[in-house]
Amino acid sequence: MKRFNEFIKQLSLTQQLFALIFCFVTFFALFFFVYLNENVDQVLRGREYDMIKENQETSVALKENTILSGQDKYPVIANVQTISFVIQDGRGYQSSNLGASEAEWECILNDIATMNKKGASEWSGFYPGGKKDSYYYITKVDDNQYLISRSVSSSFDKYKDELVSRVIYITVIVVGFFFIILMMWVITLIHPLNQIRNYIERVKQGKDAELHVNRKDEIGELAEALISMREELRKQEKTKEDMIHNISHDLKTPIATIKSYGESIKDGIYPYETLEKSVDVIIENADRLENKVHSLLFMNRVEYLISQDAEGISSDMKEIVEKVVQANKVIKPEIEFITDLEEVWFDGLAEPWRVAVENIVENALRYAKTKIEIHLNEEEGLTIANDGPCMEEDRIKVLFKPYEKGQGGKFGLGLSIVSKVVAANHYEVCGENTEDGVIFRITKPKPEGKKGR
């Protein structure tokens, strides 16, 4: 079965279609020429026997007085259509009107013997006669007398062939019509799929490509998704190039500063008044450089970090938030931190969650005017709000995408790292405008059956 499945998977849709047609035709051929042929024989023979029996019963009713008048040792003959009747005694006598050949009569006598052996009162038989087949029906009158009805049919094969031909003819028309529709349907599938394949090949080779699939079904949705994905990748690639350019510039600036200040100090010149202040500038730029490199490295390893032995591990978010708030209070003492924290545990390792909270808080500190409010509870999850300027709607849509330019034209990876941490632990994050600023929410998705109120 496994090999068969592998073989089927290697076939194209066209090959699968022709294989299906071949199997279908083979099945119907076997059905018509084996099963149906045999059953038609049985039906026609059964009908022949029923007709003989009906006519026999009618004739017996008409000749009842003659049969019961004591003439039990002599043949009683009555003709009804092509059927002859005879009473046969124990000596194996047959009426000349029965018309059976010696071989057929021997066959009838053998059936009578079999009938007596089995204790049956009625028996039906068939004798092949070449061009004319004969059918007979035996009814036991008493211990020594049997009523034998015989019919010769030369039209059996004709009826059979006509019946089978009509069934085959009708079935072929229906199946043919079905296959025409099936072929047309499969062609409508194969053509757009080939278009999609050629489109992907051209995109893979870096060539210009267009895809026009005028369908509203799943294939059309797939084509639209591919086009949208390509546009998104091109946009991200462009943004990434801009990001790399700006990062290069951002890295180049502190490196140049550190280098120039170091060379000046080596020559005994203090660019920023005193040696101490000049060294502070070097340290400050080294910190900037370290933070940027740390963000780039953490962006690349965050998924690996999250996946390490995190199954079944939970982190105390109240403790994490308190540590982050404590560390950031001194950065801007004029910004008030307002917290309302309950003891809540989030799935995942503590270190990635701390980095995610730090990045949101740093973002809030960058734009906050007077305060940052942080709430943590089971119902709403974690929310971090600031009273800074509201975000533009276009900015909200790409808030957590990497390499996106933020307000003030700065590129950053902080919120992208937040998105990776949250998604890896199966949570959701979003940013929204409020009446007096911006709020970030980290929540656990509710089960399907529990959504809404």
Q: Helix, strand or coil for residue 153?
A: strand
* φ, ψ (nearest 5 deg) of residue 320: -65, -45
**Among candidates 113, 110, 82, 109, which has minimal Cα distance to 94?**
109
Residues 6+ apart with CB under 8 A from 315: 345, 346, 347, 348, 349, 350, 353
d(CA 433, CA 388): 10
Task: Encode the chain (453 residues) as per-residue pLDDT tens digits.
Answer: 677 667 666 666 677 777 777 777 777 777 666 666 666 666 667 777 777 777 666 655 545 544 444 444 333 333 333 444 444 444 455 555 566 777 888 888 888 888 888 888 888 887 876 667 777 888 887 766 777 777 776 555 566 666 667 776 777 787 778 778 877 877 777 888 888 888 888 888 878 888 888 877 788 888 888 888 888 888 777 767 766 776 676 677 788 888 888 888 888 888 877 888 888 888 988 887 887 777 677 666 665 665 565 667 889 999 999 999 988 888 888 999 999 999 999 988 888 888 889 889 988 998 899 999 999 999 889 999 999 988 887 777 777 776 555 555 454 577 888 888 888 888 999 999 998 899 999 998 876 544 443
Instruction: Return the structure tokens found at 304.
Output: 């690996």
Instruction: Return the structure tokens found at 307.
Output: 């996946």
**Among candidates 328, 425, 453, which has minimal Cα distance to 384?**
328
Q: What is the number of other CB atoms lying within 10 angstroms of the CB of residue 302?
A: 22
User: 439 forms bridges with which residues in the sheet?
Assistant: 385, 432
The DSSP element (H or E) to which 442 belongs, if any, is: strand 437-443
Within its chain, how far is the Cα of 84 from the centroid? 68
* φ, ψ (nearest 5 deg) of residue 40: -65, -40
pTM for this one? Answer: 0.44
Q: What is the number of other CB atoms lying within 10 angstroms of the CB of residue 370?
A: 11
The DSSP element (H or E) to which 252 belongs, if any, is: helix 218-266
Q: What is the number of other CB atoms lying within 10 angstroms of the CB of residue 39?
A: 10
Instruction: Return the structure tokens found at 401.
Output: 């995408």
User: 88 forms bridges with which residues in the sheet?
Assistant: 146
Within 13 Å, how many C-alpha atoms sit on residue 407's CB side?
Answer: 13
d(CA 321, CA 269): 45
**Among candidates 143, 95, 100, 150, which has minimal Cα distance to 121?**
143
Cβ proximity of 317 and 376 under 8 Å? yes
Angle between the N-to-C axes of helices 156-204 and 13-30, in degrees from 0 to 180, rounded to the nearest 10: 170
The DSSP element (H or E) to which 275 belongs, if any, is: helix 275-307
